Each structure stands twice: as C-alpha cells, then as structure tokens.
Amino acid sequence: MLVFFILLTLPVKLIFFQKNDFILGKEFSEKASSRKSILNSKRGSIFDRNNLFLAEDIPSYEIGLTINNFSFDPKHIALLSEILGLNIERLKKRLSNKKAKYIVLSQNVSKDKKENLKKLSVPGLEISNRKFKRYYPQGEIFSQVIGLTNYKNEGINGMEFALEETLSATNGYQKKQLSRKSGIIQSEIIKEPIDGSNIKLTIDSKVQFVLFDSLKSAVGFHAAESASGVIIELNSNEILAMTNYPSFDPNDRRQLNNMELLNNNSAIDLFEPGSTVKPLALSALIKNNSLIESKIDTSPGWIEFEGYKTEDASNYGVLSIEEIISKSSNVGMVKLCADLKPNEILQTYYSLGLGRYINEIFISTREGYLPEFKNLSLREKVSLCYGYGLQTTLIQLMSAYSIIFSEGMYRPLKLIMNSSEGEEKRILSKENAMQIKNFLLQAVDKGTGYRAKIKDKNVFGKTGTARIFKNQRYNKDLHNALFIGMTNIKDKEYLIGLFVKNPQLNGDGGGDVAAPIFSEIIQTIQKF
C-alpha cells in the first residue's frame, strides 16, 4: 500500500518540482539580467564676477557599435568617420575584426555630435548614458588659477582643488530589471544624483585678458623665462586678475609636457623682491618722525660691510628719504637700516604679510622666507632693507602694498564673490602710510618708475631689479624685474603687481621692463 502511494504521488511531485524549477529558473534569469547603472551628477560651475563661465561640466557620450547588428554600409562607415573625426581606413580595419562583438568608436562625444549620429539610424549604433566632461571655455588665460580635475572629475590643483568640497557632486544609481530579450521590465532610482554648487570669483575676465596679453607680449619682447601679474581693486580688495605666462590649454592636456605649467606662479613662485621691499622697510624706520627730514650722504656710490660691497647705479651724493626711494638707492637704505635692530625689520615685514601664508584667498600659496633674527650679521641685516636675504611671492607683496594704500589698514584679499570680509587690522599708522604713499608718487614722477607714468594721472609705484642667485652666487647678468603700482580709474583704485623672470633683451630691470607694462595695462583698462 505504501509503495502504491509513493508511486501514485511521484508524478505529482515531479510536476511540482519541474514547475517550480521553471519558475525559479525564470526568476533567476530575470534577476541575472538586472543591472545597476550610474546616474551621473554635474560638478559645480565656476564663473567670473560677470557670470562668464570659467569652468563647467558639459554632457559627453560614448559611441560604440554592436558588430553583429551593423550593416557594414559604406555610406554609414563614411558618415561615422566624418562625424567622429576617425581615420576611415583604420575604422574599416577595426570593423573587419571577426572576433570583436562590440567596439568603442569614440569617448567624450559632444551632445551635438550625438544628436547628428542619432539622425543617421545606423544599425548597431550604441550611445551610452550621459556623462559629464569638464570644460574650460577661456582656455589658457585662466588655467593656472582655475586649475584642473582628474579623470574622476575631482579637483587636483588651483580653485578646482581648493573648492573641491563645494564644487564636488555625488552620483546617483538606477536599477533596471531586464528580460531575456533586453526589454526593460522595471526601472527604479536607488539614489538621486546630487549636483555640486556653483562658485563666482572676483575675477573680471576682460581685465584678465588684458593682463595675460601684456605678460605674453613682455615675455616675447624681452626673451624672458616667464611673467606673472595680479590686479586688485583696492576699494573692495578684490582680485580682478591673476595670471601667468607661459600657460597651457586645460582642454588639451596633451600640450602639458611641462608639469610646472600647472603652477600659479603669482601665488607660489618665491623670489628675492629687490627694491620693491624698500618702502616696506621704510615703514619700520619712519616711526620716528624726525627721520623724515634726514639727509643721507650716499657718496661715493657704494658702501662695504663685512667684506661685502653694496652699490648704487651711480653716485647720488646727499639724498633725502624721498630721494632714496625715488632713485632706489641701496647705499641710502643700508645707512638708514644700520642702526635698526634685526627684529624691528623682520617684525615689520611679518606684520605686512611677508614670511607667512595668505590663506584668505583660497589658493595654493607659499609662506616665503624670513631669516631668524638671532645671530643675523650686520651685512645680512642691512641687505634685508634693499630686498635680499628674504623670499616672497607676488601675492604677498601685493597684500603688503595694499596696506600702504589703505592708509595702514590690513584687509584680506578676496578671490570669491560675497566671501566674508575677514578681520581688519591696523598695521601702520595712517600718517606713516600716507608718507610712504607720497614717496611712491615721487618714485614714478621723477624716479626709477617714470616709464609707468600716465598722462593726467597720479601713479604711485616702486620698481625692483633683483639679481638671481645661481650656482652659489649672484649673477650680474641675470635679473628679475618687478613693478608694484597703483592709480585711479573712474573713482576706483587699481593696484597692479608685475614680475618678469630673467629678461634677456630690451632691458633687464624693473624700470625698463616691468614699469611700461603697468602703463600699457592701465591705458587699456580705462577704455572699457
């Protein structure tokens, strides 16, 4: 009886298990064909102060072919070659590979090209889900300050890196359950994509273009290694322009054969400032008002300390403090600084921003170098007063000069619109700042900066010519040329810093190389 029952129920059980095996197999099959796909998010854009795009994510697509479905129509092959910019013979060779089931024709294809391809109705043509490609509309002019992203669209330098947390986006995910025939059964968003936030900089693109063109021309005319510049609107302390030459096109990284081109030299290139530091040193000296009326005998045009000879361009004789700055007398500065304590000079420089980071502007910077005041020799001490024995960056010098032109008040430089003002501090007395400002006016009117003059304008500024230390010595044939200047345009004060590295032709000093660039820039900007 038991055997009979077993035999009787066996077909039923077989049918049950067969049926359920089919159901399980179907479910397994459908589950195996489910796919999790990325929903790409969009990185935040970077704009200039007038809402011009400096960096943005643009849609890009991957174009491929499923070989088994392709028609091999010569007309289709020719059109694919033309639209995607592919060599037609190489394309034919790839298509002839009998082992290939799918080939990628092109990546990072623009939306326009994608739409043109869709219109062709090419059998087997596959267009991927939308991705994003970082694009820099202004090219090389902004490349070093804006920076780059990597293949993950993460910032690796410049503002892209500094503002990564704000600009970064988070991808979402979508689950698709597919049938055996690849028909969509169900689509479900698992995680919504989150786009990054936009950033607006204080940079004015029109001013940036003027600065870049001027630097490019200067490098060519003077056969210089490089040039850097910064323009600040003093009423707001906003950076209107910051750029360097040579540069590179961030949209074509094949050109980036020298990784140093990534550096924003305006913020990180260290150099001895030469005579541009003299007005800053003077701020440590004129605390005693009696010094203003002093006369210094610079004869015979040179002075020696500890076996080291410091020279002027010529024998200027007896000079006032104003004339020491306007004629840029090294001998005069040495005699003025001889009685100062080393810590007085160094503390003044430090209070003006030299030898420390300028973090407020959200860019990669270097702290520069100031020596320890302990065990500082007399020669080392006095050399600090005419720009040797310390190292600074252009942006640090600009910050220091902005204090002078802001009546002695420190205000953080700004590179991001509507950023917090930061703490204002008094560094110099108003009286001392105004005295130095007046000296800088004379330095252009009748001094070394005369080539920065502009008709019907007051121009304040200081030249700098610093020998380059190379092979354990200062080479008399190698110089850096600098000019820091300020003037008014339509009731706004523009502070401009210029640095030309190692010019070889048509002059080599701040007066004949850097000062004329200032004049050229201002005359162009005031036409806006």
Q: For 37-88, what is each residue's pLDDT tens digit? A: 788 899 999 999 999 999 999 988 888 888 888 888 888 888 888 888 899 8
Highest mean pLDDT among 258-267, 417-426, 514-523: 514-523
Class of domain 205-525: alpha beta
State residue 441's pLDDT score: 97
Residue 102 pLDDT more than 50?
yes
Q: For 469-509, what is each residue's pLDDT tens digit? A: 888 888 888 999 999 999 999 889 999 999 999 999 999 89
Q: Are 172 and 191 in contact (CB under 8 A)?
A: yes
Spatial separation of the C-alpha atoms in residues 159 and 264, rounded to whole Å: 10
Q: What is the mean pLDDT of residues 268-280?
A: 96
Q: For 455-469, what is each residue's pLDDT tens digit? A: 999 999 999 999 998
Token pair recorded at residue 112: 């326009």
Q: How confident is the model at residue 27 (pLDDT cuts 50, 70, 90)?
A: very low
Token pair recorded at residue 487: 């003037």
Fold of 37-200: Penicillin-binding protein 2a (Domain 2) (3.90.1310)
State residue 294's pLDDT score: 80
Q: For 290-348, what is each residue's pLDDT tens digit? A: 566 789 999 999 998 888 899 999 999 999 999 999 999 999 999 998 888 888 899 99
Distance of CA 342 to the CA centre of its chain: 35
Cα–Cα distances in angstroms (integers) from residue 64 to residues 77, 121, 516, in the given order: 13, 13, 55
Judged on CB neighbours under 10 Å (0-12, 13-18, 19+), 468 is middle
Percent residues over pLDDT 90 in the chain: 58
State residue 466's pLDDT score: 93
Q: How confident is the model at residue 178 (pLDDT cuts 50, 70, 90)?
A: low
> Whole-model pTM?
0.85
Token pair recorded at residue 323: 């004339």
Going from N- to C-terminal start, the domains of the chain cover 37-200, 205-525
State residue 132's pLDDT score: 87
Q: Are 517 and 218 in contact (CB under 8 A)?
A: yes
Q: Give 302's strand partners.
A: 311
Q: What is the mean pLDDT of residues 207-229?
A: 98
Q: What is the mean pLDDT of residues 263-268?
A: 93
Taken in order 143, 145, 146, 152, the sign of the CA dihedral is positive
State residue 33's pLDDT score: 52
